[in-house]
Structure formats: structure tokens, C-alpha cells
Amino acid sequence: MISGTHIWKSFKGKVVNEDVTFSVNKGEVVSFLGPNGGGKTTLMRQIYGELKSDKGEIEIDEMDPYNALDVLGVVPQDVDVMDGLTSFEHIYIMGMLKGLSRREAKEMTEELMERFSIENKKVDALSGGNKRKVLIASALTSSPKYLILDEPTTGLDPQSRREVWNIISDLKRAGTGIILTTHYLEEAEKLSDRIYFLNRKILLFGKTGELRKKFANYYQVINVETGEKYNVREEELLSFIRNLNYKYEIRLPDLDEIYDKVISNEPN
């Protein structure tokens, strides 16, 4: 399990992560969802040991992040492929750096390239989506138990995004614990078992399917003739619809709308 307990991190007096507590189990996909500047990357960098928390504790299978490099694969947000190499060389070299023998690195590279349908070309010439696949494959050469993907689909075209989604689903099925950051609600909902909404603090969290029920204390009543929408609190719903003289539909609000509400409540 990866866990963070009461994590705080500031830059020059500005609090970026405030009292963040979370956990990720093996075989689980957990998303940190939040706007740009919400502190996601800062939190990830503490999990993979690049930054030290000001306060709080992060543990990876009961180790501190500096000793957990063997069990953790990482694709940082701002990382790019190493130009000049072919896809094969890129993944192979990462395997060697992770301590595989030449033979193991070769086999691992072939397997990953086949599994993710990676072409063997100069990485400079690959599309954004294929570069991302090379980076993910490179992070997987050590067969990590956990994988951190910081905004793995930002900037990708829809098809590449779907390919990365498929990779994530496959890895989950194979038992890898995955931490994903995204500002796409749709992506978090589609891929993750649990979601933490992070905007400096954890504003909401829960199982993906339960978030709507848990956090939406209102329903939307929609006039099916005009499309007009009314947000009605649960306790007022019965009396509200009793007085309607048009055809209506009742539904839970979109997670998007819940998200907007949560984000707009963010303390400054």
C-alpha cells in the first residue's frame, strides 16, 4: 500500500499541499483530480521521493519513498523521451538502469513493445501518444508494483488517449496499483476505483460510483419540454414536484457540476 498521512508542502510560504491524507492499494487505480495548480504534481514528487514533505509521512509498502524505488514506476508530468534513441533502445536502456541483465532487458523490451504495440522508430519521430507509450513502457521495465502517471493523457489526441486508457486498464487487471493525476473528470471516472479531488487540500474523496450520491445533496429536476433545470435539495424534492404542471425528469447532477461547485468553494 502507498499511504500519505497529513502531508504538508509549501513553496516560499505558499501552501501547495495542505494536510493531505490518502492511500492506494495494490491493484487499485486511484485518481487525484483537480485544476491546474491544484498541487497534484507537487504531491506526486513527494511520493516518488523527489521532494521532501514539510510535515507528514509517506510510506510505500512500509518503506519511505527513498527506499522504495524498486517497487515504484514513475512517468513524471514534464518528462520527455531521450532524443536520438529508438523506441527499443529507450526502453532497453531504462531496463539496464533498473538493474536488469542484457538478456532480461532485451526480453522485457520486446514484451513491452509487443504488448503496447510500440513501433521501433527513432523516438523523436513518434507522435505524442506513442512517445507517452514509450515512457510508460520504460517505467515498467522493473515490473513495479505501483505506477505513478502524472497527467498521462494531457495534450494527446482522442485516439492516443484511449490507447493510454487501455494500457492503464490492462495494468490494473494485472494487479499494478496506479496513481493517476488528471484534470479530466471523465478520465478519472472511467479509469479509477477511487477519486480524490485535490485543490491544495483534499476537498472530496470516495469510490468513483459513490461520489455523486455522497456529495450531491441535491437533484436536478428538468422540464422535459423546455430543458430548464432546477437544483432541488433532497428534502424539498417531494414538495417541489407536487406543484409542477409540466412533464419532468429527475436526475442526479453531473459529476462535472459537483466538481465545479467543489472547486469554486476552494478557500483562497
Considering only the stretches 30-38, 86-94, 106-114, 119-127, report the one whose residues sit in contact with ligand ADP under the rule CB under 6 A.
30-38
Cell numbers found for residue 253 = 447532477
Among 22, 29, 39, 145, binds ligand ADP (CB under 6 A): 39
Judged by CB, which is closer to ligand ADP: 41, or 141? 41
* Residues pairing with 63 in the sheet: 60
The single residue among 2, 4, 24, 40 that binds ligand ADP, judged by CB under 6 A, is 40
**Under rule CB under 5 A, which residues in 120-179 are in contact with Mg ion?**
none
52 sits near ligand ADP (criterion: CB under 6 A): no
Nearest approach, Cβ of 6 to ligand ADP (angstroms)?
18
Residue number, 44 or 221, with CB nearest to Mg ion: 44
**Contact between 3 and Mg ion per CB under 5 A:** no
Least Å distance between CB 47 and ligand ADP?
A: 12
Unique residue bearing C-alpha cell 522504495: 68
182 binds ligand ADP (CB under 6 A): no
For 105-171, give the DSSP string.
Answer: HHHHHHHHHHHTT---SBGGGS-HHHHHHHHHHHHTTT--SEEEEESTTTT--HHHHHHHHHHHHHH
DSSP result, 52-94: --SEEEEEETTB-GGG-TTTEEEE-TT----TTSBHHHHHHHH
Among 77, 86, 169, 223, binds Mg ion (CB under 5 A): 77
Burial 89-102 (b: 16+ CB within 10 A, else e): ebbbbbbeebebee
- Does 4 interact with ligand ADP (rule: CB under 6 A)? no
Q: Which residues sit at the interface with Mg ion, rule CB under 5 A?
A: 40-41, 77
Q: Which residues sit at the interface with ligand ADP, rule CB under 6 A?
A: 11, 16, 34, 36-42
